[in-house]
């Protein structure tokens, strides 16, 4: 895994985690809660239609009173994304500015390529 201080000349694509678990954009709030609850490392749910990025939902931002049958996408917040060609420094700084420490990497066509994720100790990229 790449250390946060070893990124000179690298891009977001170079430090992103490519094997991202996603959920369909049609997932319900109940299904999203089950997904987030299945692992303590899941801080951000990424919703897609095929390989197209639709939205991301930080688990902490899902309203406690949201109806389990509601579409989860209706509760999505403005999670920033980053392009694959952005610098690794910019990707690191953006990820560290977010409570989830996770930033989806999305190309110009809207395709989800991966995620920049930083470990809990803020020392290295995950993946």
Alpha-carbon span 117 to 12, nearest angstrom: 10
- Does residue 95 have a pLDDT over 90? yes
pLDDT for 126 equals 85
Q: What is the pTM of this model?
A: 0.89
More confident residue, 118 or 75: 118
In the chain, where the domains are located:
12-117
Count of Cβ atoms closer than 10 Å to residue 115 Cβ: 29
Residue 102 host element (H or E) = strand 102-106
Q: What is the DSSP string of 29-97?
A: HHHHHHHHHT-TT--EEEEEETTEEEEEEEGGGS-TT--TTSBGGGG------B-TTSBHHHHHHHHHT
Domain 12-117 class, CATH top level: alpha beta
Q: What are the tens digits of pLDDT across the range 2-25?
A: 887 788 899 999 999 999 999 999
Handedness of CA 48, 74, 57, 36 (dihedral sign): negative
């Amino acid at each position: 895994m790449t250390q946060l201080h070893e990124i000179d000349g690298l891009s977001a694509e170079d430090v992103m985690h490519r094997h991202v678990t996603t959920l369909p954009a049609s997932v319900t709030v109940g299904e999203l809660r089950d997904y987030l609850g299945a692992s303590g490392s899941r801080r951000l749910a990424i919703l897609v239609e095929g390989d197209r990025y639709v939205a991301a939902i930080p688990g902490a931002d899902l309203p406690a009173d949201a109806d389990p049958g509601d579409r989860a996408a209706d509760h999505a917040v403005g999670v920033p994304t980053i392009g694959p060609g952005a610098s690794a420094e910019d990707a690191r700084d953006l990820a560290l500015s977010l409570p989830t420490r996770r930033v989806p990497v999305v190309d110009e066509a809207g395709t989800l390529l991966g995620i920049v994720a930083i470990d809990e100790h803020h020392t290295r990229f995950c993946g």
